[in-house]
């Protein structure tokens, strides 16, 4: 069912792009039953999450962002370690890079370290920095 929806969306995108480029040519465009090749550049990030993208092809930062999107914007660092099977040092390096790029916030809640997407931090977390 999901693949049928993806196939229909991709075929409509391809038809609209070929209609625009073939505006000078006359004649109908032939419809084929073969499924079009999936082009990841035409899918939004949310569609890639829904329809699936091979995890091995994603950069480390995207793996964390994808996990954050799936989990509602916040996730424990231990959960990331379990999901990715990375070492603690590698995860710390990736988190540091992402914090430097303002993609995420790593905060400590009790004894846990929670990774949050920007904008998904608990209320009042960054309010003292904005003053």
Residue 121 vs residue 5, higher pLDDT = 121
Strand 112-117 to 74-76 pairing = antiparallel
The structural domain count of the chain equals 2
Average pLDDT over every residue of 82-98? 94
Output the pTM of the full model. Answer: 0.55
Please check whether residues 64 and 105 belong to one and the same domain.
Answer: yes
- Ramachandran sector of residue 52 (left: φ over 0; alpha: ψ -120 to 50; beta: rest): left
Domain holding 30, by residue range, is 1-53
Please check whether residues 33 and 60 belong to one and the same domain.
Answer: no
> What is the distance between the terminal CA atoms of the chain, rounded to a whole angstrom?
51
CATH code, domain carrying 62: 1.10.10.10
Residue-wise pLDDT for 44-81, tens only, equals 666 666 666 666 677 889 889 989 988 999 999 999 99
Please check whether residues 84 and 98 belong to one and the same domain.
Answer: yes
Query: For residue 68, what pLDDT is reported?
Result: 92
């Amino acid at each position: 069912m999901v693949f049928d929806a993806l196939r229909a969306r991709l075929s409509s995108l391809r038809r609209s792009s070929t209609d625009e480029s073939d505006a000078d040519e006359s004649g109908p465009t032939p419809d084929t039953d073969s499924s079009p090749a999936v082009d990841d550049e035409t899918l939004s990030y949310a569609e890639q999450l829904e329809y699936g993208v091979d995890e091995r092809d994603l950069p480390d930062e995207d793996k964390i962002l994808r996990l954050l999107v799936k989990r509602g914007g916040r996730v424990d660092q231990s959960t990331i370690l379990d999901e990715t099977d990375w070492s603690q040092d590698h995860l710390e390096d990736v988190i540091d890079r992402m914090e430097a790029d303002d993609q995420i916030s790593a905060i400590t809640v009790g004894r846990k370290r929670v990774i949050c997407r920007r904008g998904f931090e608990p209320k009042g977390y960054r309010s003292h920095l904005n003053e």
